[in-house]
Structure 1
């Protein structure tokens, strides 16, 4: 798939679309469900408990309850909104025929990358966010069902068999570039996929060390009653 400059569109216009999409997607990502619900509804910041991570697993282990679904909904919807708006912004540009098949997909990868950056490093929450697996998984679903099948299939198998959500998450991040290349065979998308998937793996580096040492906590549907100290 050739990567040529869109015909009739100035480099400045392309840069503006990329910049606006990046900023919008980043601030969508900053709406971290676990932080918002714990800090402003429960008045007890999830980042002061358990692993200190502002993600779904730590929230569930610490607080549990129906508000867990609010966290899920927030982290899913922000990724959906970021990618839908990116598609609208990118869709307003008529591009060179050789670029056209790549353009809508590039919008998803570009927005997904910055949405994940916002989730992991939210500027309004002192850049202390989550590990990105729920939002990242939503991004994979919106990109392509084949990519999602690889990412989510491996995640579910590993998480169910081992009860280590983190192991499934590491698989999701590591497999994302391979799935991207298998589906699209495009170097630009592969570069974005490596960065996006690499962020998820890097965020789980502590979990990987604990898995290797056999000290990683296993997931349970029943949340902890000790403030999440086992997370």
Structure 2
């Protein structure tokens, strides 16, 4: 009887813990740094200005650099929380290993892009995803951030660097972990980021994408970053 009881408890945990991590990571992701900071410090909504996007670039273009660190702090801390949840409850308690981190990361990105608190209209997940790269593995972060920085500085297209970093994730995940679950979850994160940047990709291909400048320069409506 004891063995049957333990088996039942294990089965419940195997279902309940992933569900718990998914919900908590999603809710953490829903805390949007750009929206929260614009509300708290400017009594405004960043989505009413510029591109209408709830991301760091649109925030910077409209409000400047003064409160931009708060946006970064919000989005970095929620990413840390989601990965820690996945790592402990799934990686440690259920033995998922690195896949636990990826699971928490995926739902954090989903929450960031489709936040229930803000009518499911959020950011594009770059700052959040960039933080996740640092938490998953330093080698994955080195390739992803390296691609982003090089392309951003040489072309001044934030979106191009973001897309390149997203594309690199499934490949670096596979070569670092050689784990199918991690690779699948990493691919899902990558596809979400690419989907969020679909309009940017079209403008990059047509040569109409806006370049980033180190001053407040709000883009025209529709030109989301």
Instruction: Point out 4+ residue stretches in structure 1 off by more than 4 angstroms.
Output: none
- Partners of 1:137 and 1:37 lie apart in 2 by 19
1:31-180 paired onto structure 2 within 5 Å: 31-90=31-90, 93=93, 100=95, 103-180=96-173
List runs of 5+ in structure 1 lacking aligned partners: 1-6
Q: How far off is 1:76 after superposition?
A: 0.6
- Partners of 1:151 and 1:12 lie apart in 2 by 37
Deviations 1:109-157 (A, max 9, x none): 0000000001000001000000001110111110101111111111111
> Could you tell me which residue of structure 1 aligns to residue 3 of structure 2?
none
Deviations 1:84-131 (A, max 9, x none): 1322323552x5xxxx5xx23111100000000010000010000000
Contact 2:35 2:45 in 1 (8 A): yes
TM-score under structure 1 length normalisation: 0.88
Q: How far off is 1:39 after superposition?
A: 2.8
1:202-213 paired onto structure 2 within 5 Å: 202-213=195-206
- Partners of 1:151 and 1:223 lie apart in 2 by 27
Structure with the higher fraction of residues in helix conformation? 2
Aligned partner (choices 190, 207, 216) of residue 223 of structure 1: 216
State the SS of the aligned residue for 2:130. helix
Contact 2:91 2:99 in 1 (8 A): no
- Partners of 1:159 and 1:148 lie apart in 2 by 16
> Could you tell me which residue of structure 1 aligns to residue 27 of structure 2?
27
- Partners of 1:179 and 1:126 lie apart in 2 by 34
**What is the aligned length?**
216
Q: How far off is 1:65 after superposition?
A: 3.0
> Could you tell me which residue of structure 2 aligns to residue 4 of structure 1?
none
Q: State yes or no: 1:195 paired with 2:188.
A: yes
Deviations 1:46-70 (A, max 9, x none): 1122221100011111111311110
- Partners of 1:109 and 1:85 lie apart in 2 by 11
The structure-2 alpha-carbon separation of the partners of 1:160 and 1:15, relative to structure 1 and needing over 3 Å to count, comes to: same
Q: How far off is 1:214 after superposition?
A: 1.2
List runs of 5+ in structure 2 lacking aligned partners: 1-5
State the SS of the aligned residue for 1:10. helix
- Partners of 1:207 and 1:154 lie apart in 2 by 17
